[in-house]
Structures are given as C-alpha cells and as structure tokens.
Structure 1
Amino acid sequence: MIGAGCSGSFQRARDIFGRSGLSVQKQQEVIQFLFHPDLGSLNILRNGIGSSPNSTRDWMNSILPVCPSTPDGPFNYTFDNDDSAQLALSQAALSLNPNMLIYADAWSAPGCMKTVGVDSEGGFLCGVRGTNCSSGDWRQAYSNYIVQYIRFYHDLGIQIHAVGPFNEPDYNPITYASMLSDGFQAKDLMEVLYPTVKASFPNVQVACCDETGARQGRTQLYELQKAGGSELFDIYTYHSYQSDPERPFNTPKQNWQTEWADGGGAWNPHWDVVGHMAEGHNWALYMHNAFVNADTSAYLHWQCAENDTGDNGLIQLAGDSYQVSARLWAMAGYFRFVKPGARRIEASSSVEEVYVSAFENTNGTFAIPIINAARFAYNVTIDLNGVKVKTATPYLTDNNHNVSRMADVAVHGSSFTALVEARAMKTFFLH
C-alpha cells in the first residue's frame, strides 16, 4: 500500500491560497485538514505538468514558453517558481508530512510536439506509430521536457516520486490540454521516456497511462504489453470515471487509481443521507473494491479543494469559508492507519452487507477497516487467525463521527467482538 491523495492542478491550488478570498489562517486550516497525518492523512499530491501558453482557469503554464519548430530546439526552459500555485501546495504539504509523495502528471505535450499543433484538441505525439509529422520525431524532446520539470523541483529541494506522460489518453475533451494514445503508441513513447527519466533520476518512478476507467486501463495495458512495453513503467495508473476496478490488472507492478470524483453533481459534504455516489459511505466502498478486487495500492480523489458549487473537491471553498466533505474522512478511515509499505492481507466476511479488509504495517501493527452497509448495527466477531495483539482501538466514521476514537475493545487470545454501527465505517487499529 502507498496511500491516498488529491490534486491541486487546473489552477485549483490558487483557490487554496486565497484567489477567491480565503484568508491566510483558513488556508492553513484547509491544508491541515487535507495533509496532516492525524486529520485527512493524505500523503500523495498529484501535480499537473503544464503545457499551455497561459493560465486560464483550467490551463497550466508550460515550462517551454516558446516552442521550437523542430525537435533540435532550441529549448529555452523557464520556471516561474509558482507552477500554478502547485509549488506552494507541494511545500505546504511537505511541511506537514516530510514523506509526502509528489506525482507529476502531464495532460499533454506542448503543442509544437503534436499532430494538431496545440496542447488541447487531443492529437498524437509526433513520432509514435500512426503519425507522420513533417517537423520530425518529438519523443525524445517530450521526454526531456518531463525530466526538466523534475529538475526544476529537484533544484528547489522537492523530490518528485513519480511522473506520467498521459492523462486520459482515451478521451479528447477539446477545451483543455489532452493527448491521445493507445497502448501501442504508449509503448513507442515509453521506450524513450523510461530510460531518459532513469538516466537523470534513477529513483523516480515512471507511471502509465491514466485512462478514464479501470476496464479501459486493462485494455491499454494489454496493448502496451503486446507491443513489448511490460518493463517500460513502474506503476500502472487508471481513473474510475468510465468503469470500476472489478478485477486485478495483469501485471505484478503496482496500480494506482489517480483521479475520480462525481464531476457533474452539486456539492455534497455528507456521509450517508440520500445514497449519492459522492457521499462518504459510498466513497469508502469504492476504495474497498479497488483494494480488494484490483489490488490497488493508492487511491486519489480529483481536486483537493476548489471554490466551486460542484463536488470535484474534497473541500469546498467559498470566499473566506470552507466545508470538509465526508469523502475525506472515508480516505482517512483507511490511510490514517494503513501506512506506506503496508501489505493487504487476506480478510473475509460471512455477512453480505459487511465489507472487511485488513492491512499489516511494517512496524507490526494492523488496520482492519469494516464497512457496514446495512441499515442496522452488527455485532461482529473478528478472528485474527492466531495473531496476538494487545489492544484493538476502533475509530468510527458515520453521519455523526469523523474517524472518532472510541473505547478500546478487549482482545481475548486472537479474537474480539465489537459493534459496527449502521451505515458506518469502523477501523480497528491493532497494536
């Protein structure tokens, strides 16, 4: 297991830092809610690697303001020490958690490197199969571009943990940066990008390919492998918009769910009121299914926070006020207790409405999140299969509790019995 996270891309980090009136004090409170290990417990921040010529609401600045006409350059890179406020958000998150992981992901290559000549409107990277650009093969130039972004952060003392060259390459939104690719074309890029990244930053993980859904991701993974790209990535990434993670990905490498939110709904801060997909109780179940069904190691929400009436953010900002959604507490119900490096271990439930998973941390502690989807409470007996622990501390999340510590439960030998409230998530921390 790696952790949970969110993104400040598309200029939304600027919302956190007061673009719409949030005071400095409340900026700090929002950041604490998101990233403090004892609050939201998020430990992954997904930055967008910009490719656009300016910073309208959903665009992110390119580090190559003037695009050359050929892959030979010149490449006059520049960094504004702001990065659409993602730099400040990265620094703030790291101040709360020095082990914070930064995943830098590109929505597109700069326009000069693509078949359509702009970073929006989809198009393909020149040089991959199926393209015939008069300007030449831009795969190495794009790989160098991504490495330069890593270097700008590195020079400021911030280590990038992972990078990816695509965002939803199976979807063309027209209005913001996008770049299309199938798995065969992804292989053509990855065979250049992977060694280029490793040559400069051997410890940076290379991710692919952030498709719109898990099923779409499995299809693209099959194509990437069929083309000979099985060893050209370290992490396989997907989103959950188009399809759910119903079964494992056909790779021994980690898979991460790196973006999802309702996207089209009104702001919903609730745990369980009307059963909406964005409510915290359902979000906890989505995470359970990803971990148990698809062996997913990390789970990221779309935006961290934004000044908007929709529910794309974990926290809604409105002038100098904010509201925290229960989705954040669902994520904390896992990752306040499931630490990076933990391994998911076998767990099962004999009751259809009760969902259980279990994780062993590297220090020998255990986390057992249990989700009761029924509308009545259950007394559950947890059999630890011979594992001896001293204490079982439950943390309750429901309509009235946000990962609230409850009274310790007595452990008898290697089992204990405890109440799990209706429509609730209760995480048992065993130590």
Structure 2
Amino acid sequence: MPCLFTLAALVVVLGQTYAQTSVTVEAASLLQQIDGFGVSQAFGRAAEFRDLLSGDPQQQGLDYLFNATTGAGLTIIRNRIGSGTTDSDSILPNSPGGPSVAANYTFDDDDRGQVWFSQQAMKYGVKIIYADAWSAPGFMKTNNNENNGGYLCGTPGHTCSSGDWRQAYADFLVQYVKYYNARGIPITQLGFLNEPDYVTSYSSMQSGANEASSFIPILYDTLEKNGLNNVSLTCCDAMGWNSQKSITQGLVSAGMEKYLKYITSHMYSSDPNSVIPTNLKTWQTEAADLQSRWCATWYSGGGQCEGFTWANKIHNGLANANLSAYIYWQGVEVNQFQASSYLVASDGETLTPSGRLWAFAMWSRFVRPGAYRVSTSGSVSSTGITAFKNTDGSVVVVFLNSGGSQQTVKVSFSDFTPAGAEAFVTDNTRSVAPVEAAFSDGTVTVSVPSRGMLTVKLAAAA
C-alpha cells in the first residue's frame, strides 16, 4: 500500500478506488472580467414567447432563463435592431429621400416583443441589454435591399448615387437607443453589424475592417453628441472566431480600440478557442446548434445538441479565449422542434429545458457579472477547470469531466479563506443538483462525475 503521494492520494468510495488530485485556486491572480451569459429572442421570438405562452407556462419559461435559483440565472439579452420595410420591424421603414433629409422615425412600443422581453428580464435583475443591427435599412446600402448583403453607402469603395448614408445610419441607431431609454430600458451595448462576412437572404450587410473603421468614429461621436456616452460600442459579430480575429487585426491597426469597448464574434465557422490580440473585452454573442433536431439530452455520445458538448464549448471560450460573455442564440421557443437553436422548448403548455440550458446554469447561476476569472494550479485527468472571484468576495470553481470515470479533487486556496462550501452537479440524471462538498481546514474535497459538471461556491470568511 503506498505511503506517500505529492499530488495524488488514493480514495476508496463504495469499494472503488479513485485518484484524488489536488488543485489550488490562486484567488489574487485576476484574469478577464466576466460580464455574464445570455440569450436572444430576436426575429419575433419574443412576441411568440409572450403571445403563445401565458400564466404559469410563461412564468416558468422566464424562470428557466433568468431565475438564479431555479433556472440558468442568465444576465444578458441581445436584441435585434430591425431594418425592414414595415413599422413593426424598423423605426425607419421608408427612405426620407436622401441622407441629409430629416428622417420620420416611428416606434410601435413593441419591437416584435423585444420591449416586453427586455422588461421581463430586467425584473430578474438583468442590466446588460445588447442591441445589434443585422443590417442598415435597404435604402442606405449599395444593393438597395436590407437582405442579401450589400455595403453601407459611403464606406470606402462603396459609393451610391443617393449619397453617403453613414451619418444617417448612425442617427438611426442612436434613435433606436433613445426609444428604449425613454421606456426605462437602457441599452448598454450597441452593435451595427451582424455576420458581415456572410451574405444571406435575410437582413444582412457586408463589411470588412476598412468599412467598419470608416463608420465607428461617426457612430461614437453621434452617441457622444446625444449624451449617450454610457453606451458601449461593439464590433463585429463575425460568423466565426477566426474571421473575427482577422477583422480585429484591421480594426486595431486603424486605431479603433479607442472607440470600441468590445470585440464580438459568433461561433458558426469556428469556435472561440484562442485569445484575440486586443485590449478590449471579447464576447461570443451568438451560438447554437442549427443542424440537429431539438433534444434535451445532457450526454449521449457527444452530439451537437447535447448539454455536455456546449459545456465544453463554454469552458474553452472562458479558459482559452478569455471570453467575458457567452450568449446562446434563442432562449424559449414555442412549437419549434426543428433544430436545437434554443434552450427551452414548449408545445404551448409544457416546457422542457435542454441540457444546454443547464450547462449555462453551471456557470451563470454562480459566476455573476463583475466577477473575475482567476488562475488555478494543478490538473485533473480529463477535467477542465475554471475558477472565479465574485464581487461579493465568494469564489466559484467549475469542473468539467470529459473522462469515463469519476474524479475526486481536493481544492485549496491562495489569498482566500473560505468560510464554507456548497456544491452542485449536472450529469445525465441530475440538473444543478446539490451534492456533498467535504469542507475541512480551509480546503474542500469534491467528486466530479464522468461526463458531468460540478460547481463549487465558497463564501469568504468574515
């Protein structure tokens, strides 16, 4: 029988032997700040949520998304700034006649349900509301259409007979922010592009770093002139991380970091798995499984709809790309079972949360806005580890075990004295379920199940 181990000891549980590994959380070693985790209900999904669900089912859907005790505790929503040709989709559906002609803006106080959705999220304490435009109105673009790409008139290399619409587009975006602010819904982040590297049949607008750099200072100055300097600018919600890296290089070279606060990307063509060279925070602002039929599964071989798959994606983004936020595409959908592009499904009466929702919950319930990711030392076989320090002084450690056997881990702390520990597990049979965390002499020992997650939250000693 072994008599001494440096990092590992043998622990016998129910007749089985497991390797026990030691990990140290370096609570004073601060990495990126965390803004949170979130969803969207764009393209009318917010109105469907409101109108097709009522009473207890509607409340349950909201709780699944935003309740930090029974749901995921999400803290960010992403709204779409519409650019269509109807009053319900755009605040400027018709051209005023030219870029220097006064615009006749209109707002229907609904915005396809996004006003309601924003108000509901705010009731749960959500403070981060990101408004993003998929396209400028068609009459401001080279193709005279909100769909099928096209460039903003007046950007480098893209002249239009109707003139330069860059200032008019900035005014349009700022007016949208004003409408929301007037209704007690403060827009905190503002984007003017969505997947500018992708041309599609719905609202879309092309842009590279040069085009974006010619517009960003105009939009920044327009916000300033309207007393909206508290609104942070983002760019550019590219299709994938590698594409956004390339665009960001051009933005940095053009000096755009002084105007922007966030670099934003999607994950459809490449996941966030490495750091983008920038001084700005980085967000993953849209992610989803658009191919698989909807499922609620946690783990069954590693399919794209499974919760464990998405837990790994979030972990890699936080640990390897230094993400400050991770946003899924849709939250709640009704009678839409064709793809796993949303976290909660409903037939109009019964709601079914997915394993992907619980993957988000294992971070978002416990790692709150303003937290910092902190360093850890030591490793656990087949297990990813992220640790965080919240603004209230508590420390959270999240384990993700990709291996075929349970891992028992002893966690100690540097520059932090815990007062106690609580632990929660998610796997094929449990969803954010409380489990035992053995706490003794300032250390905690936990067991991380195979293909499962375990989150430990530790309060700071007074």
TM-score by length of 1: 0.95
How has the CA–CA distance of structure 1 residues 67 and 411 changed in structure 2, closer, same or farther, with 3 Å as cutoff?
A: farther
Residue in structure 2 matching 1:112, options 126, 135, 139: 139
CA distance in 2, matches of 1:215, 1:409: 42
SS in 2 for 1:88: helix
Residue 76 of structure 1 aligns to a residue in which SS?
coil
**What is the aligned-residue identity percentage?**
38
Aligned length, in residue pairs: 422
Residues 391, 408 of structure 1: 8 Å contact kept: no
Of residues 28, 34, 38, the one that matches 2:59 is 28
Deviations 1:152-185 (A, max 9, x none): 0111111111010000000011x21000000111
Contact 1:394 1:409 in 2 (8 A): no
Q: Secondary structure at the match of 2:211?
A: helix
In 1: Cα distance, 2:86 partner to 2:402 partner: 46
Matches of 1:365 and 1:339 in 2, distance apart? 10
Give the conservation status (yes or no) of the 8 Å contact 2:420–2:458: yes
Task: For residue 384 of structure 1, give the secondary structure of its aligned residue in structure 2.
Answer: strand
Counterpart position of 1:199: 225
1:282 aligns with 309
CA distance in structure 2 between the partners assigned to 1:178 and 1:349 by the alignment: 46
Per the alignment, do residues 406 and 25 of structure 1 end up closer, same or farther by CA in structure 2, a change over 3 Å counting? same
Decide which of 387, 391, 394 is 1:365's aligned counterpart. 394
For the residues of structure 2 that align with 1:195 and 1:383, how far apart are their CA atoms? 49
Equivalent residues of 2:152, 2:165 under 8 A apart: yes
Residue identity opposite 1:338 in structure 2 = V
- Select 1:180's aligned residue among 199, 202, 206: 206
Could you tell me which residue of structure 1 aligns to residue 36 of structure 2? 3
Which residue in 2 is equivalent to 1:262? 289
> Which of 424, 429, 439 is the aligned partner of 1:395?
424
Letter in 2 for 1:11: G
Q: 2:410 aligns with which of 378, 381, 393?
A: 381
Q: Does 1:354 align with 2:383?
A: yes
Distance, in Å, in 2 between the alignment partners of 1:130 and 1:13 is 38
In 1, distance between residues paired with 2:440 and 2:206?
54
Q: How far 1:349 moved relative to its partner?
A: 4.5
Whether the 8 Å CA contact 1:371–1:423 is kept in 2: the answer is: yes
Deviation for aligned residue 1:410:
1.2
Verify: 1:424 aligned to 2:457, yes or no: no
Which residue in 2 is equivalent to 1:236? 263
SS at 1:286 equivalent: helix
Task: Select 1:249's aligned residue among 276, 280, 294.
Answer: 276
- CA deviations on 1:193-221 (whole Å, 9 max, x unpaired) are 11212332111111110001111111000
1:213–1:379: structure 2 CA closer, same or farther, 3 Å change rule? same
- Alignment correspondent of 1:86: 114
Aligned residue number for residue 51 of structure 1 = 83
Q: Decide which of 127, 130, 149 is 1:122's aligned counterpart.
A: 149
After superposition, the C-alpha distances for 1:37-74 in whole angstroms (9 at most, x for unaligned) are: 2221011010000001149xxxx701012212210123
Query: Greater strand percent: which structure?
Result: 2
Quick check: 1:17–1:24 contact (8 Å CA) kept in 2? no
In 1, Cα distance between equivalents of 2:357 and 2:93: 36
Once the two structures are superposed, what CA deviation does each residue of 1:308-327 show, in whole Å capped at 9, x if it has no partner? 11111111122333211111
Q: 2: distance between equivalents of 1:16 and 1:172?
A: 28
Deviation at 1:386, TM superposition (A): 5.3
Amino acid in structure 1 at the alignment position of 2:445: T
Contact 2:252 2:278 in 1 (8 A): no
Inter-partner Cα distance in structure 1 for 2:371 and 2:54: 37
Matched with 1:332 is: 361
State whether structure 2 residue 435 is matched by structure 1 residue 409.
no
Q: Which one scores higher on RCO, CA 8 angstroms, separation ≥ 6?
A: 2
Deviation of 1:363 (Å): 1.5
Q: Is the 8 A contact 1:15 1:317 kept in 2?
A: no
- Contact 2:93 / 2:137 at 8 angstroms: preserved in 1? no
SS in 2 for 1:346: strand
User: In the alignment, residue 327 of structure 1 is paired with which amino acid?
Assistant: R
Alignment RMSD:
1.4
Query: Separation in 2 of the partners of 1:399 and 1:179?
Result: 42
Distance in 1, matches of 2:399 and 2:388, equals 12
User: Structure 1 CA distance, aligned partners of 2:86 and 2:302?
Assistant: 40
Q: 2: CA distance between counterparts of 1:129 and 1:305?
A: 40
Query: What is the CA–CA distance in structure 2 between the aligned matches of 1:28 and 1:363, rounded to whole Å?
Result: 29
Offset of residue 392 of structure 1: 1.6
Looking at structure 1, the residues matched to 172 and 210 of structure 2 have their Cα atoms a distance apart, in angstroms, of 22
CA contact (8 A) 2:437 2:445 kept: no
CA distance in 2, matches of 1:14, 1:265: 25
Alpha-carbon contact 1:69-1:112 (below 8 Å) kept: no
- What is residue 71 of structure 1 aligned with on the other side? 99
Task: For residue 390 of structure 1, give the secondary structure of its aligned residue in structure 2.
Answer: strand
Structure 1, 347-356 or 262-271: larger mean CA deviation: 347-356
SS for the counterpart of 2:356 is helix
CA distance in 1, matches of 2:397, 2:90: 44
Residues 135-161 of structure 1 show CA distances to partners (whole Å, capped at 9, x for unaligned) of: 111111101101000100111111111
**1:18 is the counterpart of 2:51:** yes
| Bigger CA radius of gyration | 2
Deviation of 1:257 after TM superposition, in Å, equals 0.3
Q: Following the alignment from structure 2 to structure 1, what is the Cα–Cα distance between the partners of residues 145 and 238? A: 21
In the aligned structure 1, how far is the partner of 2:170 from the partner of 2:206? Answer: 16
Q: Quick check: 1:2–1:340 contact (8 Å CA) kept in 2?
A: yes
Moved over 3 A (4+): none
Question: Is 2:184 aligned against 1:157?
Answer: yes
